Structure 1
């Protein structure tokens, strides 16, 4: 499996909220689904910038996250409460 790096830029309230979520507990082995971002290529790298509609999901019971976890075989059996944040 190859490594793909995606840079995510979170602005204003999105950055503050996400920082708080990370401080709330160890999410190092979880999968985060980030929606409603603005993709940009800069210097040959992919950047995803937050928008007013950006949402974060940390819950493996969300079908899309569960499907992704199943495809990559990640150790995300430890589910977190679904965090659905819209700005």
Structure 2
């Protein structure tokens, strides 16, 4: 069942949407460390250890109702829970539908947990259209990075692929945090740049391209 309020609005999607993973696909990815899926769902309950003022070590567990009314648990640690805790406090009893990105699914005690990673971002339904957009090229992006004040901002870049570099194989395993190539050990992957001996890997392909535009 989908509920609409007086503030509900609709926008026509003219570009491919971000793939959202249903529960059965999350179960298939659990404990594999092969992919960091995105989800959409409704927060029905949340518990956190966040205090005022917050400490360095925080923990938040949120119950997320997904497709077919199946509930999973999203878990966040350290500094990440503070922002979500404050957002939930300010929203009160409003419908709390969210999109959560780059989660690491794990099965613990027969229950599916979605653990936040360093790349996890939370977008509530009221925030997904907010913000200004502009278009430009790579040179504009470089100029912005070099001259703008420190801030967190997302860019979406599109380009025309002109070739795939196959001299070292068609793909490699990269760090999900810094995207650098991982070093394989007997039972895990190590990221030298992040100093992480149990890094989560993502398959990457080296491509060359042209006609790059960012927004």
Query: Is this a same-fold pair by TM over 0.5?
Result: yes
Unaligned runs of 5+ in 1: 60-79
Unaligned runs of 5+ in 2: 1-66, 131-151, 154-215
More helix by share: 1
Q: Structure 1 residue 24 and structure 2 residue 90: aligned?
A: yes
Distance 1:81 1:3, change over 3 A: closer
Distance 1:28 1:43, change over 3 A: farther
Name the CA distance, whole Å, in 2 between partners of 1:33 and 1:49.
Answer: 14
**Per-residue displacement from partner, 1:25-49 (whole Å, max 9, x unpaired)?**
2354131111111110111111001
Distance 1:35 1:27, change over 3 A: farther
1:15-54 equivalence runs, <5 A:
15-26=81-92, 28-54=94-120
Question: Size of the alignment, in residue pairs?
Answer: 65
Query: Which TM-score applies when normalising by structure 1?
Result: 0.62
Which residue pairs with 1:11 in the alignment? 77
Task: Compare CA radii of gyration and give the structure with the larger one.
Answer: 2
Which residue pairs with 2:7 in the alignment? none
Give the structure, 1 or 2, with the largest relative contact order (CA under 8 Å, sep 6 or more). Answer: 1
Q: CA RMSD in A?
A: 2.5
TM-aligned CA deviation for residue 56 of structure 1: 0.5
Which residue pairs with 1:70 in the alignment? none
List structure 1 runs of 4+ shifted beyond 2 angstroms: none
